[in-house]
Amino acid sequence: MSNIKIADIKPDKRFKSPVTLDKMFLITVPPCPITKGQLGNLAKWGFKEVQVEEELSVTPIKEPQDPSAAKKISLGETESVDLSEFNVDSDTPSNANIPDKFKTSEAVDISTFDDSISKQPEPVVNKSFSNTTTKAQTSLSAYLSTHDPQGADEALKFSVGMRGDGPISEEEDTKYMESAQKTYEKFMTYINYVYTHYATHKEISNTELNGKALELCNFVRETKKFILRISPSHEARNKNFLISHSMRTAVLAIVIGMQLNMPYEKLIELAVASILHEIGQIRLPPQLYMNDKPLTPSEKAQMATHTVVGYKIVKAAGFPLTIQLGVLDHHERETGTGYPRKLTGASISTYAKIIAVACSYEAITAPRHFKEARTTYEGMIEMLKNSNHLYDDAVVKALLYSVSLYPIGAYVYLANGKVGQVVDVSPSSPKNPIVKIVGGINKDGSAKMVQTDDAMLRIVRVMTEQETKDLMDALGETSKNYY
């Protein structure tokens, strides 16, 4: 191990091995250079030296002469992943290593998705999987008892009323919303624990995470109308970006999977893959994903390694190949313009297709350090445009029918002059969702809900961010948590 003075390093120089500050903090990995911004930050923070395993190299990185070597994505000595087992040259991923119990249920044909919205099936799980989830539930209970003793008995349990199957009063709506918010935050805390525990112990409990994913699927199924109203801006102010993004992506992916009538066993796997899809980023310098400005080309190249790093992490943790591929391929695109393997169409796994749509929609509609969030309506419009056909059309359609053209949580102006909040999708038309009229109360005391249409109850437009803020101020402090 050699120490090199930061003052002696020129911007954009490359090292042949990872550059670190110590055994825990990674600055950059081959082939990415160390940037001017990184050097400036290190100097500003008072660091004088960095550590490398060999001397600085200015030699350009050469393409491998051995064709088989091209299948290995190099991330330095600590992160080198051989992808040859996936048969990159073929049209579809290899199924050789998929356990028998996952082969049949993985084959979810999303091309058969129809336009009708059917009632979601009850979560029937086969006997063999029930044994696994029983063990997972036991492990989960132990975790809750240790980390949240007071909430262990009540966590994640909701009545049928939470699903909003009948009229509820404004007071009940507020109560259910607050309950959903608290449970949502419990899941956020758990995901933060998973990421932090891996960062410090290099361990992920497969059984525990499966149990938590099962609970998350049940939570989303019971509280969809409420959970989709929880504010990304509220989360961003209080939670780590990676954790907030992973949680919201998981919720959206589960909603899409439910719309596609995915078997419950596979829905749980999808939830696990969604929770872990960004786990590779914790092995990268945090300034890459906590940056307050757009990434430079070299920083983007470094960030792009997170899919392979994440794949290696979940593989080492013993998760099935279906989950590994969801993590590895969630940045692949239908046109072959994604990364890391430039797969096209049918070569991309079902989980990766779903996570790609959920992840992208979440990224558009959530705030970042270098940009303001766009409205959920704007995000949906961009996904529906599907420029250059980057995403699977059936998955995008499932997102539309899950959250509607005017997504749940959005505040809108109606043609009759009223203001309302979208609270549910319409089985008949995704462009005419169910809206709760702001300040509207029925004679029985329940909140006034209307089915929008193409006449006087037509949605004229979505409120701007400032208009929504002004409305929240007028309605009171408690409402600010839910938009």
**Does the pLDDT of residue 29 top 50, yes or no?**
yes
**Does the pLDDT of residue 470 top 50, yes or no?**
yes
The percent of residues above 90 in pLDDT, for the chain, comes to: 38
pLDDT band per the 50, 70, 90 thresholds, residue 252: very high
Mean predicted confidence (pLDDT) in 90-110? 36
CA distance 223 to 191: 19
CA distance 434 to 167: 12
pLDDT band per the 50, 70, 90 thresholds, residue 188: very high
The percent of residues above 70 in pLDDT, for the chain, comes to: 69
Higher pLDDT: 456 or 32? It is 456
Least confident piece of the model among 161-170, 362-371, 422-431: 161-170
CA distance 349 to 313: 18
| pLDDT at res. 110 | 33
pLDDT tens-place string over residues 201-223: 999 999 999 999 999 999 999 99
Give 392's Cβ-side CA count (13 Å radius). Answer: 30
Q: Are the C-beta atoms of 71 and 88 separated by less than 8 Å? A: yes
Q: Which two tokens stand for residue 156?
A: 């994640």
The mean pLDDT of the chain is 75
Q: What are phi and psi of 471, to 5 degrees?
A: -65, -45
* Rg value, the chain, Cα: 24
pLDDT tens-place string over residues 231-245: 755 445 545 788 999
Give 1's Cβ-side CA count (13 Å radius). Answer: 9
pLDDT tens-place string over residues 413-428: 999 999 999 998 887 7
DSSP 462: E
Mean predicted confidence (pLDDT) in 356-362? 95
**Does the pLDDT of residue 276 top 90, yes or no?**
yes
**Does the pLDDT of residue 65 top 50, yes or no?**
no
pTM to 2 decimals? 0.65
pLDDT tens-place string over residues 258-275: 999 999 999 999 999 999
